[in-house]
Amino acid sequence: MFEVARVLGEVIRDVHKSDGEALAQFGIDFNCSMILGGQIRGEGCRLFQLYSAGNFIEATEENLYFQIGEAKYGKPIIDRVVSPETSLDEASKAALISMDSTLRSNLSVGLPLDLLCYEADALKVTRFANIDNKNAYMSLIRNTWGARLQQVFSELPDPDWKDLAENKKTVNSVRIALTTTGEKKDAGSQT
Amino acid sequence: MFEVARVLGEVIRDVHKSDGEALAQFGIDFNCSMILGGQIRGEGCRLFQLYSAGNFIEATEENLYFQIGEAKYGKPIIDRVVSPETSLDEASKAALISMDSTLRSNLSVGLPLDLLCYEADALKVTRFANIDNKNAYMSLIRNTWGARLQQVFSELPDPDWKDLAENKKTVNSVRIALTTTGEKKDAGSQT
């Protein structure tokens, strides 16, 4: 699979060579990102993300998944529920919830979705779905997840401002509410 | 407040005039976004977002809130729980959960946060908190929200692949799992 990623990387470079200049004349950056996953019989499943320059990285236990495209809206839910122990079905569920978050927060992203879930050693596609707005499972996800989230939200206690403001500080200047004021110094301690 | 937004917009333009060229020499785009909120006695509360060009937009019932900075990770939860009926305390809670999602998914964003919540007609700051990693309410949000989310996630049924793939389609070519294949044609029907 590493060799496949190398070949695909070379293809991306070839396309850049043939199209890059023409794109630049229209003020368009050559921009390409791809996810490559698969298995060759006798070897393990591997997953790569390839960049515009044809270089790539591989998924690991610490870095379980890749997203491409409009990725940020759907990342928090994956980060909260997916671990190396997550089953394939649960991962599919997480992927659909993640896409639902993106669909709701960015109107330029829309159904249908193609969902392909590859089972190690199957060596063929056993789980594939084209999901449009009539799909019953996707409708269940869309309705139930949002409703349950609202319920959990309403069950969390509201802030008590006396407790919340336990670090007394004078408001000397206009502060922009909810923007961070500092750089994270020790990422580990805050995750 | 509209006049205040105009003045602030002019200030942004002045800064662009004085610093823009020097920044450009270092290959840095002049980039600035600000949220301006407030109230003048006898008038209503108003909230504006200002852009680099000094132009601005105002929040409305249909467009309730603004975010600046690393906004995408934290947008879905706000979209799911905040409405014109949301109380100020609930909105503060939503803002903190939204920031928690961003903190978890982007290591370059970190505590502390300044949270300022302005109550209409108070004409002064009554609720302000500087929230660091020792803040008890923030810790409660961080722990409880994540745990409850995982619980809701595990309670949702896993996909049944036979049902899921109800729209039979042959996999003729390698499809990139979970990227959208179409543009949203009718945003309204899918929200």
DSSP calls for B43-71? S--EEEEE-TTS-EEE--SSS-----SS-
Contact (CB, 8 A) for B140 and A157: yes
- Cα separation of A71 and A62, whole Å? 18
Q: Is A180 on the interface with B (CB under 8 A)?
A: yes
| In the block, residue with structure tokens 């005039």 | B17
Would you put residue B62 in left (φ > 0), alpha (ψ -120 to 50) or beta? Answer: alpha
Cis peptide before A112 (omega within 30 of 0): yes
Q: Is B170 on the interface with A (CB under 8 A)?
A: no
State whether A190 and B103 contact (CB < 8 Å). yes
- Cα separation of B183 and B186, whole Å? 9
- Cα separation of A157 and A154, whole Å? 8
State whether B137 and A117 contact (CB < 8 Å). no
Question: Which of A95, A101, A181 lies nearest to residue B178, judging by beta carbons?
Answer: A95
H or E segment at A37? strand A34-38
Chain B residue closest in CA terms to A147 = B80
State how far residue A181 is from chain B, nearest Cα, in angstroms. 6
Kindly calculate the radius of gyration of chain A based on its CA atoms and give it in whole angstroms. Answer: 22
Chain B residue closest in CA terms to A94 = B153
At B124, give phi and psi (nearest 5°): -155, 170
Q: Chain B neighbours among A 4-23 (CB < 8 Å)? A: none
pLDDT in tens, B59-85: 999 999 999 999 999 999 999 999 999
- Cα separation of B30 and B20, whole Å? 6
pLDDT in tens, B11-25: 999 999 999 999 999
**Mean pLDDT taken over chain B:** 86
Q: Is B109 on the interface with A (CB under 8 A)?
A: yes
Q: pTM of the full predicted structure?
A: 0.79
**Confidence (pLDDT) at B166:** 64
Q: What angle do CA B65, B66, B68 make, to 5 degrees?
A: 155
Q: One digit per residue, pLDDT tens: chain A, 191 residues?
A: 999 999 999 999 999 999 999 999 999 999 999 999 999 999 999 999 999 999 999 999 999 999 999 999 999 999 999 999 999 999 999 999 999 999 999 999 999 999 999 999 999 999 999 999 899 999 999 999 999 999 999 999 999 888 777 655 544 444 444 444 444 444 344 33
Question: Which of B115, B132, B190 lies nearest to residue A177, judging by beta carbons?
Answer: B115
Helices (H), chain A: 2-25, 75-81, 88-105, 136-155, 161-164
